[in-house]
Structures are given as structure tokens and as C-alpha cells.
Amino acid sequence: MNPSTHRLSARLMRNSHSFAPVLASFMLGAFSNAQAQQSAYTMDWTTASFVGMGPNGGVVVVSYNLTSGPAVAGLGSSYSTTFTVSDLTGIGGAAGNDYVWYQPGLNQTNWANVIGTEFDIASLLTNLPANNLETGEGLSDNGVSPTSLESADGFYRSNIAAGNLDQLGTFTVSTSAAPLVAGYTIVNDSVEYFSRFNDVSTTAHPGYLQQGVWAAPEGSPDGPTVFALSGSLFLAHGQTATFDFTAYDNVDTTDQIFQNGRGFWNATGTVTYEVVPEPSGVMMLGAAGLVSVFRRRRIK
């Protein structure tokens, strides 16, 4: 054999020996990705049970129903998730106040697949610190009404940051973790938290807030410019969201906000599972045969 041909043949055999496992792994990986199967479970707000929720917090249990893909082995068509809601804790000058959750604690019904509970508004408006009481026209954010196209959420946040309002307190909401199932991996695990608050301004003073209660999850951005919504915070199941809250009242007006089913914490969630496929017997045999061929060639 020509020496140069011999050296080339030896080099190819060496390369093919190291290349064979890589090629086999690539073939198996491509097969696995092609066969991956997903199943999504989404919160069904109509199943939520608030019997464990009281004025000082408690638990809300809700079903997550299969909404796409085949049922996950061991979960079936649904499973339960528990939301644990803390007491309302006053801070600063409001530390001694007894803030409570409103009963029966059902959220508004015009938000599909969302659960939540609302404050007892009367308790939030009792014993307000002096900074949260106004006279005359009321609280203004440079003359911009919270009912304008400016974010109502941003109105409260900016006034708290500027010292025009005191934050009254905090509360937390946490969930049970998404179930782990052998043979599956979780590829999407998400709970969306947000608040829907309540306030009022008058026709006599349209650029000023007369009365209001507000909450927002810490770490969320300013809310949208429509509706009384905070920005959203996204966490995995099993994690805890902390909310800030406050209230405000103008003692010179008779305007009164009321309990209207708006959840001062709201949540919706989804979990998506993906099958971890077993390697195909045909692919395994093909990969083993490929390695065997390279080895035989090298022995020669």
C-alpha cells in the first residue's frame, strides 16, 4: 500500500472511532425530540373552594384540568392545587390595625380562569394614618385623575414613593408545588399574580382621588392604563408572592367605594408536562451496529 494512502486510512479509522458515539447520541437525541409529547393542565376557576378561607387568611383549593394533550399517568384529567393566603399585616403606623379579608371571598366572575379574594374595605378605611386622610379636593398626582389614561396602579405607587401616602401593610399568597411524575419533565410552570383594586373620584373634582383601596404584588411592573389593575408577577408553583396594600379617604366627601367582588389578589396558572421518551429499539440497534462497523474496520 502506498504510505500516504496508509496514513490517510489510519486517520479515517481513528476519526470514525471517536465520531461513532457522537453520531449515535445525535441520532437518539433527534429521535427523542421528534417524539416528545406534551400535556397542559390549566386552572379551572369554577372549581375553586373557599371554605378554608377566613377573615385572617386560609386556603383556597382549585382544580387544574387537562386542556391539551393526553392525560399524564398518575394525574388523570385533573389534580388539585392549594393557594395559601396569609393574614393582612399592618406596618408602620398601621401595625396595630386589624385588617381582614371579606367573606365569602369570591372573586369577580368576569375573569375566566382567575381566582382571588377581596379586602374587607371597611376595615382598611378604619384608623387610617393622617397621611392617608385628606380634606378639600383630595389626593392628586399632578392633577391627573387615576381614572384617566395614566395607570391607576402607577398613581398609587408614585404617591407612596413620594411620601404622599403611607403603605398600610403586606400579605402573601403561596401555592403547592406542581406534582412531579416519573417519566415526565415539567416544561412550563407558571402562576400569574395581579391585583384589581377600587377607587372613586367625583365629578366636582375629576382630577383628584376621593377614596380608594389598592394592592400590588412586589416585583411587578406598573399596571395597564385601562381598568384598575396592577402589573403581573409570574412565579412557579410552590413559590410565594408578597403583596403591598394601602387605602385612602377624603373626609370632606360622602363618596363611598363598596364591595364589588374585585380580587385584591388574583391568580391563574398552568403547568405543562412533557414525556421523557425511551430510546427506540430500532435506533439503539442501528447505533450499536454503526459502532460495530467502525470497530471492525479498525481491526482490519
Q: At what angle do helices 281-299 and 3-35 cross, to 10 degrees?
A: 170
- Stretch 179-194: mean pLDDT: 96
- 14 and 89 share one domain: no
- 25 and 77 share one domain: no
pLDDT of 7 above 80: no
Instruction: Check residue 8 and give its pLDDT.
Output: 41
- 159 and 283 share one domain: no
- 147 and 288 share one domain: no
Instruction: Please identify which residue in the block is written with the cell numbers 378605611.
Output: 125
- Stretch 141-154: mean pLDDT: 55
pLDDT of 40 above 90: yes
- 10 and 141 share one domain: no
Amino acid at 159: N
Question: Which range scores top for mean pLDDT: 2-16, 43-57, 152-166?
Answer: 43-57
The structure's pTM equals 0.77
- 240 and 190 share one domain: yes
CA distance to 8, 40, 188, 189, 245, per residue, from 236 (Å) = 56, 15, 9, 5, 23
| pLDDT band per the 50, 70, 90 thresholds, residue 30 | very low
Q: Is 84 in a helix, a strand, or coil?
A: strand
- 126 and 241 share one domain: yes
- 44 and 181 share one domain: yes
Residue 292 domain boundaries: 3-34+279-299
- 106 and 174 share one domain: yes
Instruction: Check residue 208 and give its pLDDT.
Output: 66
The mean-pLDDT minimum among 22-31, 39-48, 143-152 falls in: 22-31
The mean-pLDDT minimum among 2-6, 8-12, 177-181, 263-267 falls in: 8-12
Count of structural domains within the chain: 2
Instruction: Check residue 26 and give its pLDDT.
Output: 44
